[in-house]
Structure 1
Amino acid sequence: MTDAIPTYKKKRLDVIVEAPILNRLLDLLDRLGVTGYTVVPALAGRGREGSWSRAGLVSDAGQMVLVIVVLDESRIPAVLAPVYKLLQRQIGIVTISDVEVVRKEHF
């Protein structure tokens, strides 16, 4: 029998945006003191406007990316409000979910 690895509750903020606004979003996260994030290309999806795909796109316009941020719950209001303000006139989706991490010092 092995010892259980302790976990720590955090919040995950996922932001899906068009690639051309990515640098503005990352600059904002840096200014807000977010200590880490991961950017993942979104290859295809389906939303209110129907299906979309990166296939055939020759520029960043229309391409979507997913930015994943893991934060302490106490930081969510201070980060979410400015992120929402940046994205309120852009195409994008923001979700918040509960996660558990094994290395709390990273967040």
Structure 2
Amino acid sequence: MPTKPTIARIWRGRTRRDVADMYEKYVRTEGIPPLERTALGVQLLREDREEETWFTTISYWPDMQAMTAFTKGEPTKVHHLDRDPELLIELPQRVEIHRILVDEQGLR
């Protein structure tokens, strides 16, 4: 039986609209693959607003120990990608760690 996640790690960042497509491609190639190899699951979300675009990455973990091992002992520290200072409007200062209380994925 597959392991169900108990922890969600959520990162949010925003770009200017004119670099949003470039940033999306960059995150897909540089930021998402390490999570796909290690986490139970990962989602990349995008919200285009009038003047900026928000990106949210949610990774799912079996427990705090697994997530802490991936983050090298610092689960709440933001690990910026190399080009984040260039492409993001500001560098996020934190990630959110949430306990998953309900996990029903029966999408219809």
- Provide the TM-score with structure 2 as the length reference: 0.53
CA shift, 1:22, in A, is 1.9
Taking the aligned partners of 1:102 and 1:30, their CA distance within structure 2 comes to 19
Please name the residue that 2:31 is paired with: 25
The answer to whether the aligner puts 1:10 opposite 2:11 as a matched pair is no
The partner residue of 1:55 within 45, 50, 53 is 50
Bigger proportion of residues as strand: 1
The answer to whether residue 61 in structure 2 is matched with residue 71 in structure 1 is yes
Fraction of identical pairs, as percent: 14
SS at match of 1:55: coil
Paired AA for residue 29 in structure 1: L
Cα root mean square deviation, aligned:
3.2
Unaligned runs of 5+ in 2: 15-19, 86-90
**TM-score normalized with structure 1 length:** 0.53
The alpha-carbon distance between structure 1 residues 102 and 65, as it changes in their structure 2 partners (threshold 3 A), is closer
Change (3 A) 1:85 1:40: closer
The higher-RCO structure (CA 8 Å, 6+ apart) is 1
Structure possessing the higher radius of gyration over alpha carbons: 1
Number of residue-to-residue matches in the alignment: 80
